A = this chain, B = another copy of it.
Amino acid sequence: MTALQPKNDEILNPLDILQNQMRKDMACVNEMILQHMQSEVPLIPQLASYLIAAGGKRIRPLLTLSCTALFDGDMMRAHRLSAAVEFIHTATLLHDDVVDDSDERRGKKSANVIFGNEASVLVGDFLFSRAFQLMVADGSLDVLRILSNASAIIAEGEVLQLAAQNNLATTMQDYKAVIAGKTASLFAAACEVGPVIAGQDEATIKAMREYGMNLGMAFQVIDDVLDYSATQEKLGKAVGDDFREGKMTAPVLIAIEKSDAQERTFWQRTLGDKDQSDADLQTAKDIIAKHGALETGMALAAQYGEVAIQQLDVIADSALKETLVNLVSFTLNREY
């Protein structure tokens, strides 16, 4: 009987054991996050902890942890870099909520509502800087390159989204470029960091990066579907925000492509000319439903999910690999 075996007769599922280990790793990451969001300026931990304590899926640090453990990499480094990844994500959330003038996030009033836009911008900048301080402390220029590139690409994606807002000429290709930048690039980077610090070869690094990229695409498409299909309670933020903001996301783009002249007039008025009344969200949902745009969106996400899973062919079967497969299922089937 080895030390790793349970002391009672209960047979543990290896995935459970790993998940237990992963839970410990995630606890270390959370500690790292709490520790490094401290500052002598009280408003910083106040605002940061408000958002971070509200939860969130922690899917990006989980990716860095899993993709490091998968290749037997140094988990102490993974904890620190996972915190860096989550800080970059948190910084973009704070800035997004200012940009979108959002009211709700993670089931609570968003930070900009409580603390003001000014503080949200500045604390975002602080967390972004902290992310780079954590990477510098880790000391890998490769990791710094991966995550500084991702940060620039995220900002480009966000600006592209801003430029496409209320623009009915936006294509699915434009949309894919937006979500590749604003979402998938950080998923890709979070995954890439693991095999990089574990010293894997180029092909493995590329496969893990592509896994993250495709998972991120699936994640964002589902996010955009949920903005028309979820309940506010489950989503933790207002449903229909994308519609109100005139964001040209998958459900709308798919529906517009199939819309007749009358429906196009509706999209032009509500999204193009920003002339909306309260009843318009329901009409939008009806047109989207009529054209099966949510299902088409989910099918698109499923395609990305499939490509993500295909990338994992390069690695041997293991419980951790199963976790990465399960993450794709979670992403596709989630209701929040």
Binding site for B on A (CB under 8 A): 39-44, 91-92, 95, 98-99, 117-119, 121-123, 125-126, 128-130, 132-133, 135-136, 139, 141, 144-145, 148-149, 151-152, 154-156, 158-160, 162-163
Contact = CB atoms under 8 A, between A and B. Distances in A.
A42 B164 CA distance: 12
Contact of A145 (B119, B136, B163): B136
B98 A121 contact: yes
A148 B129 contact: yes
Given A144-B132, A148-B133, A162-B118, A156 B39 contact: yes
Given A39-B156, A132-B144, 20 more contacts: A40-B156, A91-B125, A95-B121, A95-B125, A98-B98, A98-B118, A98-B121, A99-B121, A117-B117, A119-B159, A122-B155, A123-B155, A125-B158, A126-B152, A126-B155, A126-B159, A128-B151, A129-B148, A133-B152, A144-B144
Given A95-B121, A122-B95, A125-B95, A41 B152 contact: no
A206 to B, nearest CB: 20
A143 to B, nearest CB: 10
13 contacts: A43-B162, A43-B163, A44-B159, A92-B125, A95-B125, A98-B98, A119-B162, A122-B159, A125-B151, A129-B154, A132-B144, A132-B148, A135-B148
Contacts of A39: 156, 159
Contacts of A95: 121-122, 125
A155 B136 contact: no
A139 B145 CA distance: 10
A119 to B, nearest CB: 6
Nearest to A100: B118
Contacts of A43: 159, 162-163
Contacts of A152: 126, 129-130, 133
A196 to B, nearest CB: 14
Contact of A162 (B122, B145, B162): B122
A125 B42 CA distance: 23
A4 B76 CA distance: 55
Contacts of A162: 43, 118-119, 122
Contacts of A126: 152, 155-156, 159
A144 B145 CA distance: 11
A39 B181 CA distance: 13
Contacts of A132: 132, 144, 148, 151
Contact of A125 (B44, B119, B144, B155): B155
A105 to B, nearest CB: 16
A41 B154 CA distance: 12
A123 B44 contact: no
Contacts of A141: 136, 139, 141
Contacts of A158: 122, 125
Contacts of A129: 148, 151-152, 154-155
Nearest to A156: B41
Among A99, A119, A152, the most chain B Cβ lie within 10 Å of the Cβ of A152
Contacts of A135: 148
A118 B145 contact: no
